[in-house]
Structure 1
């Protein structure tokens, strides 16, 4: 596994959901805050996105994709709406989803794919935590071709509803999330993690740790994997990632253990072996110190 894949996998829960919205006239709908990430794909037309808590309206055009990675509540409205009026007049999204809604007014038809990813934020990887409230990726010829292909395939599946669509749509939505995170990292002008993954030494160390987190890593072995001295690795890794390499490994192992406990009924001995702990007792001790709760109690609470 690579860092981006692991960062997404660690917080993903269940399957994404989506609804198609086709609306025209003077319209505005509200989507409340969500314990996950929301997204919109503009299949045709144009509209406004107004995030809760202030911030400039975001104009969305045909082919645009927007991700709200922290589940920020927001309003969607026709492109001619005023921000203040739209926020006051917005109706719940549930009243219009999966429907053709034609309201009075001159606004042209807009078609969107709106959806949500379920996320467990309790151990979010710092890469995911660093994403801004709104990630807007306008449609630009030649930019992010894999993202554009995913959008085109989504539109086609929605239009034709061919055999296998029930499996194809969730898979394409999973791809969409990956491509959105990749595209943000490519375009981000600030932020630690785009810089982290552009540094060859730190990236080599992270790739090694994520490829085999259960291995008996030492600072010397990891430095050799990255092709530098222990001092160089420690300095560069800590400066970019925010913690020393071995501290990051401990944090990541416990994050993996928490995800395994949440998503499976594997015995504690299996979870310990998979995450680099020599015994269930060693994992339980480290887990309790980090989370303030035993692994068994954590699993029970996550299952309830």
Structure 2
């Protein structure tokens, strides 16, 4: 089978299409013929040598989400039959024509969406839902700040927050992305100036501040998050594109009784990944069927052009997801 392999840590040029052996299917697992795979920032980090995959995952083949069909069923696996359309999350390896996944981590693809659409859902929507609802406890009537609102996770988070009934404030580097996000449920858009946005958030909330922050940037944004928060707010830190270190005024964290919560999906144990996968059926699948949310796709590249897909994502140009078409 074909797979996009990282031949050595480095830039997009280190991605190399190779013929590799098909994976065996152990007990309780299924093999999936991948049709589409999502491109995520974690893939860029892995390619650069900064984000090694968890044990048991192909160390040199990136890819955290897929959509495809069941190709083979291992001993003891009974949830799916060959030919079933499925999608979901993996610890890595989705930039390949076939992957092996525990059957309980796999979700049936909704009948009214394409495989292309399905591959744009798992990482973005599960990450956003897990951060906003499970970690951030966002509820109807609250006010939420979503950074990188035009990214894959950002566009998913805006839609989820809107579906919950929250007042949604978002940031982005460009006004164009914020304008496009208004159709997804964004109420107020802010382009940070020199990394500053707290004053505008406070203005938009009548000086009250937000109840939840979904931070995909990190770095200097964290201190601004603290300034933008209401009492008892929850800051959910998901990404570090702005840097892994910063300085904040801990007195404000104490005074406002804030929670700063870090989260990651990839390295969770199997049982937690299975629980996360269930979100693709309910509520995410329910919202998809009701047309309350939708996958946002910017570009689709063939597998052999994965390097170009990485370059596009590194330049922060896409609105929504970048995908790879894996099958031929």
Same fold (TM over 0.5): no
- Give TM-score scaled by structure 1 length: 0.32
Mark the structure with the bigger radius of gyration.
1
- Give TM-score scaled by structure 2 length: 0.30
* Between structures 1 and 2, the one with greater strand share: 2
